[in-house]
Amino acid sequence: DDAVLKNNVIDRIIRWIKNESTYQEDMVFRVSSIAPGTTIKKSKPREILIKENLNTILLEKGWINQFPGRGQWMYLGPYATLFRAIQDYCKEKINELGFIECLFPKMIHTDVMMRMKYFEGLPEGMFYVSFPEREPELFQKFKAQLKIYNELPLDTLEEALNPPFAVLAPAQCEPFYQFFSKQILEKDALPIKFCDYSGYTYRNEGGGTGGLERVSEFQRIETVYLGTPEMVEEIADKTQDAFTTVCDGLGLEWFVEVGDDPFYLSGRKYDDKELQYPKIFKREIRVKTQKDESISIGSVNVHGTHFVDGFKIKNNFHGDLWTGCTGFGVSRMVFVFLLYNGLDPKKWPEVVKKRVNDLPDIPKILNWP
């Protein structure tokens, strides 16, 4: 087949077979200057106030309510008020670093995800989006079956759907790289720093979902940056400092750990391109939780030239462009904040208390909460 030959499919098959049999060590462990799992910074010890199951407490108090979707919750007035206060505190620290707010799309075309090499890494971790055919007769059948059987005729619905053309944003930074695709940048315009506060991130956690600490639909603040390698490394360090300042203000016991799972690297596992990578790909900000465990509430990621290459981002000067992103996991921040500080606003740290006037009441319903 000429198309197979022209697209170098045979070469890629040979390279894949060769690497599959000889690949001994994960790329992160080979390239990172510090072993993944190493703690590189930590706070002073702090006491966790709530020792019981926080999810149960919040359900009983009516702060949250489980939604029918897997890993989805409805957050009621008191919880939402606290969420906005913590989000506002994060915004304050991010704004101090000169980030410009944008509104990123949350439905990401598969072409963009291909260039990110996300499909090679975690295709099972995304929610796929399809659009229906504009054929009324297909939906007449669907509506008739629905009316007759009083249950959703999913098989008929599938007949009317096209193959997926997009995914729900699993990383939130995707539109940034697409925006600069094939653009030519001057050095004087660098660094470029965007942030997005505008909505949910979606990840298919499968059987890993449970309480608020592991959900399929959650809110983050995403900061994304582009510049020379030196600029990107400096911004990454500053966002890490801003993140840990927020953690201190919230009264959390935190530590920064070298990560072992940057989402974009799996797609480069068998790639023979000569790309530039940082000494540390990913730094996770983790918070101590009950039973001496910990949970990640965000990460600092430096991509080297990975996305610059994938999206063909150009410059007109002698030197290289790198990208980086830092995600502030506000949904998880709220969860760990309550673990450490409880549900009484009078006992909350000042940075939150001054942003919360009064917590709204929950609706009066006879059989809930």
CA distance 9 to 117: 17
Phi-psi region of 142 (alpha: psi -120 to 50; beta: other; left: phi over 0): alpha
- Predicted confidence (pLDDT) per residue in 86-132, tens digit: 999 999 999 999 999 999 999 999 999 999 999 988 899 999 999 99
CA distance 64 to 73: 7
pLDDT in tens, the chain (369 residues): 565 555 566 665 655 555 554 443 566 666 778 899 999 999 999 999 999 999 999 999 999 999 998 899 999 999 999 999 999 999 999 999 999 999 999 999 999 999 999 998 889 999 999 999 888 888 999 999 999 999 999 999 999 899 999 999 999 999 999 999 999 999 999 999 999 999 899 999 876 677 999 999 999 999 999 999 999 999 999 999 999 999 999 999 999 999 987 767 766 666 667 789 899 999 999 999 998 899 999 999 999 999 999 999 999 999 999 999 999 999 999 999 999 999 999 999 999 999 998 999 999 999 999
Give the tokens for residue 330: 């506000």
- Predicted confidence (pLDDT) per residue in 176-186, tens digit: 999 999 999 99
CA distance 326 to 188: 23
CA distance 140 to 78: 44
Query: Which pairing describes strands 322-328 and 282-288: parallel, antiparallel, or unpaired?
Result: unpaired
Report whether CATH 3.30.930.10 matches the domain 2-129+168-353.
Answer: yes
- Give this prediction's pTM: 0.91
Which residues are CB-contacts of 278 (< 8 A; sequence separation ≥ 6)? 229, 233, 302, 303, 304, 322
Amino acid identity of residue 147, one-letter, is K
Amino acid identity of residue 20, one-letter, is E
Domain residue ranges of the chain, discontinuous segments joined by +: 2-129+168-353, 131-164
